[in-house]
Structure 1
Amino acid sequence: MDYSLHARIRAGDPEAFRELFRAHAQLVFRHAVRVSGDRSTAEDVVSLTFLEAWRLRAKLRDEGETPRPWVMGIAVNVLRNTARAARRHAVALTRLPAKDTVPDFVDELVGRMADAEELAAAGRALRRLRRGERDVFTLCVWSGLSYSEAAQALGVPVGTVRSRLSRTRTRLRALAAEELAAGRRGPYERRGPYERMEPVGGSGQEQGGRTRAARSGEETDR
């Protein structure tokens, strides 16, 4: 197997790093967008990932046909550090006067999911997963890494990736359904596409598409 690219990266060959960036920058960006839900954060993650790759170039080993697992392993760690920094920043912001919120771009960038409610529920469910489950799911399902590549990226056995992904799919479906149901509950309950919203537990009872309270009002007017 030809490991010339690996050797050139370890040697600090600028052209080899340009090849590495061209081959994997978009993959890192898409992964970071889906995990963080923010385009600006994803751009920072790409920059930090390849800066780390340059710093850690001597640790690239001759494993596999491509350095993709190595790059994505670095990206996963960068995302973890970025998330911790974001949480610290959010805590700091709570001490400042409230400002108008700026909408994120997750629906635009991950627009293949047509239902915004389902997307939001899936995002909330994903955040409820354990870190190891979330990493395996995002690498294998969202970023298309094979079991062996994900195992290399995360530093775990292939069997762990397989079992963890299977368990995570089942758990994520249940959590997403739970989050979707919770998001749709509230002071009003959806009756049908052309019927008005009725308060949950309200005094009016529907009968023939109209409430008994409304009918009583009409009889009083006669």
Structure 2
Amino acid sequence: MTQTEPTDQELWAAVAAGDEAAFGTLFDRHSRAVYNHAFRLCGSWSVAEDITQATFLVAWRRRGTARLAHGTALPWLLVVAGNHARTEWRSARRRRALLGRLPAERGPDPADDVAGRLDDERAMGRILAAVRRLPRAEREAVALCLWSGVGYAEAAAALGVTEVAVRSRVSRARARLAALLGPDAEEEDR
């Protein structure tokens, strides 16, 4: 005895009674056709996936009230998918119209920010290499006073030296950095 696959009508009757496995069979049977139909209507893979999901969600919700014509679920599913595609198209059109009404002013190009950050990293790498060549006391003075904005008196208290010693260290560090980095050192070290 050969076992025949149930028809869509039989599966739909089982789905109407709450049979999730029958719904899964219907999904397996028709989801590719619904997806392909949705893709042809919208031209986007991701939107077609959304439409397919929405179509089968409607099918599940309307399982007790929807009636199949000619015993097959596919035409009904394709109509539902078409309705969702039209709704999506109208929503996208409204979003585009809204975006068209926004002021033309745009913020800075993010690529400029990335390029600036790369330039800053490159410059900082040069400065760090030069600062590492300074004596430890001068490195500490540069880190506190020039980079972190700590006042000379506060830096002196933190380092356990006099304010004059901190000023001297910063001055010597600036001179050495200028020699190590060239004419741009004064600008970069800020």
TM-score where L is the length of structure 2:
0.47
Structure with bigger helix share is 2
Higher Cα radius of gyration: 2
Point out which structure has higher relative CO (alpha carbons under 8 A, 6+ apart): 1
State the TM-score, normalized to the length of structure 1: 0.41
